[in-house]
Amino acid sequence: MKILKTIAFLCCGTAAFAQNSPLDKLLTARFTNERVENIVEQIGQKADIRFSYSPNVFDGNRRVSIQATAKPVRQVLDELFKQTVVYKERRGYIILLKAPDAPAKPKDLIINGYVFDRETGKRLAQVSIFERQTLASAVSNEAGYYRLKLPIALSNPRLEVRKVEYWGETIILNGRNSLDIGMRQLGTDKKLQTIDNQNITTNIPRPDSSKVRVDIPVFVASTDSLLSPKKPTLNERWQNVEKTFVDGFASAKQAINVSNVQDTLYRPIQVSLMPFLGTNHILSGNVINSLSINLIAGYSRGVYGLEVGNFLNLVRQDVRGAQFSGFANMVGRHVSGVQAAGFLNATRYDVSGVQAAGFVNVAGRDFRGLQVSGFANLTGRHFKSGLQIASFINIALGQSSGMQLSGFANVAGHKLRGAQIASVFNYAKTHQRGLQLALFNYADSLAGGLPIGLVSFVRKNGYRRLEISTDELNYANLTFKTGVARFYNIFTAGFNFNANHKPLVSFGYGIGKAWRLGKGWMVNLDGTGHAIIPNSSWLLTEQTPQLYRLSASVEKKLGRHVALAAGPSVNWLISSTDLFNTDMSKIYEINAVRTSQNGRFVRNWLGFQAALRFL
């Protein structure tokens, strides 16, 4: 957690935007054949700016004529000094310094200016300006001012200008250093764009569902419940979690570029230290890479190849290839390939391939392939095929058609068409086909699957019987059967009410199978094992008598919820003493009483049972 806090702190440090500068104040003035020093003084008075400079910075006696109408002070000074003076802000002052001598061959081309709305003249903040070849970029400040540095050797440089709800612009520089950019708002039909008429080409913005957008809920004070805010769905909550997480690691300028720029930019290789420090610069959220190497954490639009990160990989859209991270991989859309992380893999939409994590894997929509985690796997919609392996739990909120194998539990939120194997619990809303194998299995309804476990329960159309019966051993038995007709669990207890020559009570468990014959008839075959309590001593030991019974019965429904059943049984009793009077058992005894090798009595006989069943 300390590492996360440190990274978040560093990211927040990059989020601050440049505040309004005194140089961006608008000035309306006219100077005719005035001394430069007087002009500087009057500019300070009119714009409420304090200048600081040395007398040898410029020729104060030089006379100049300048006219400005609602023009930024910065541009008035540029016109006054002709790039012989540079400006620095410090402690409320604008310091004028002599510009350094220009090198014979300058390395960089500095382009600056203001971005404004052509119709209203309003200067526009948070406009993205970038150059495709170098990925050099800038974001206009609150006064609409931008400054961009490009290599002087760059051939045919063009500036791309983008802002939400404005037409995109492509501007050919033609050797210009100072460049004001006018933008036009989109009309009602925001899908269509035309080509501008001043050496400008326009790119058509395409919808980008992964761009950052935060909706602020509005709470209405009203007694009408219909006006109450709608509760977010599970998918909406997941989207908010994913977006908030990504926002926490991207700088403010990156978030603005993600919102403004719909263009897809490609780079074969990128290397980054943090999401905002790398070779893709602040356009990293708009760039697709073939190879991405992140020393701590990286942030990109997509990876079509390989991404390796020591701590964290963040991808806004798709990964096609492989991602490896020491801590986590986060992907905003789809993954086709391999994700491996020491702690977490999270993909907002579909995954086709492999997810392997030390703690948890998440696929927001459909998953096809292999999910392996040290704790849990979550598929937000359908687990279409493959294998989920987790030490604790596997969850598919939709349909599960593959195999879920876990150390504790498996969940299929809709249909189960595959297999669930867990040590403790399996859940499926509709067990359509396949196998459930665990101590406890639950399905809301059954369409053809088979649950096998200590206890299996199907709520709507499973097999359930509560029966009261009698047999040759017990005067009364209370039995509950649950599961499906093909395989059900049996829980039973027998009572003799302190009768002589009879056990006091017995407890049993078993399994059974039923065949439906039609017209209310059914045949059951049950196998059970019982612990016999012969007297008031309830302590179960190795010497406790054991009864094993294999019984068959025929059931006939008397009504919707009642049936009668009866049939024969075969019994084997193992005990340390002869529990029965020989004369009482002759009529059904198969073999004479015999003694086993360990000195215990073994008897077997044919028995019977008759039951009243409640369906």
Q: Among 56-70, 332-346, 479-493, which is the least confidently predicted range?
A: 56-70
Decide if pLDDT at 12 tops 60.
no
% pLDDT > 70, the chain: 81
Cα distance between residue 538 and residue 503, in whole Å:
12
pLDDT at 124 over 50: yes
Torsion of CA 434, 438, 439, 442, to 10 degrees: -50
The Cα–Cα gap between 385 and 396 comes to 11
What is the pLDDT averaged over residues 84-102?
83
Specify whether the CB–CB gap between 78 and 178 falls below 8 A: yes
Whether 22-98 shares its CATH topology with 108-201 is answered no
Amino acid at 296: I
Which DSSP string do the residues of 309-333 spell out, in sequence order? ESSEEEESS-EEEEEEESSEEEESS
Span 267-308, pLDDT tens digits: 999 999 998 899 998 898 899 999 999 999 999 999 999 999
In CATH terms, the fold of domain 108-201 is: Immunoglobulin-like (2.60.40)
State pLDDT tens for residues 207-245: 343 333 333 333 333 333 333 445 566 555 555 655 555
For the entire predicted model, the pTM comes to: 0.73
More confident residue, 592 or 416: 416
Contacts of 586 (CB under 8 A, 6+ apart): none
pLDDT at 68 over 80: yes
Model pLDDT, residue 206: 39
Task: Tell me the C-alpha distance between 29 and 49, whole Å.
Answer: 15
Fold of 463-614: Porin (2.40.160)
Which residue did the predictor score with more confidence, 423 or 173?
423
Rg of the Cα atoms in the chain:
40
Give mean pLDDT, residues 240-257.
69
The CA–CA distances, whole Å, from 37 to 46, 60, 101, 491, 498 equal: 14, 4, 22, 104, 121
Per-residue pLDDT at 8 exceeds 50: no
- Tell me the H-state helices in 204-317: 234-249, 252-260
The residue ranking higher by pLDDT, 211 or 57, is 57
| Domain ranges for the chain | 22-98, 108-201, 234-458, 463-614
Strand blocks (E) in 58-105 = 63-72, 85-90, 93-98
Q: Are strands 463-471 and 601-614 parallel, antiparallel or unpaired?
A: antiparallel
Which of 251-260, 461-470, 534-543 is the least confident region? 534-543
Q: What is the 3-state secondary structure (H, E, C) of 345-395?
A: EEECCCEEEEEEECCEEEECCCEEEEEEECCEEEECCCEEEEEEEECCEEE
pLDDT tens figures, 435-470 = 999 999 999 999 889 999 999 999 999 999 999 999
Compare 222 and 516 and report the one with higher pLDDT. Answer: 516
Contact 57, 98 (CB under 8 A): yes
**Lowest mean pLDDT, pick from 108-117, 157-166, 216-225, 475-484:** 216-225
Burial class of residue 487, CB neighbours in 10 A (0-12, 13-18, 19+): middle
Q: Does residue 382 contact residue 363 with C-beta atoms inside 8 Å?
A: no
Write the CATH number of the domain with boundaries 22-98: 3.55.50.30
pLDDT band of 600, cuts 50, 70, 90? confident
Task: Please give the average per-residue pLDDT across 30-37, as a whole number.
Answer: 88
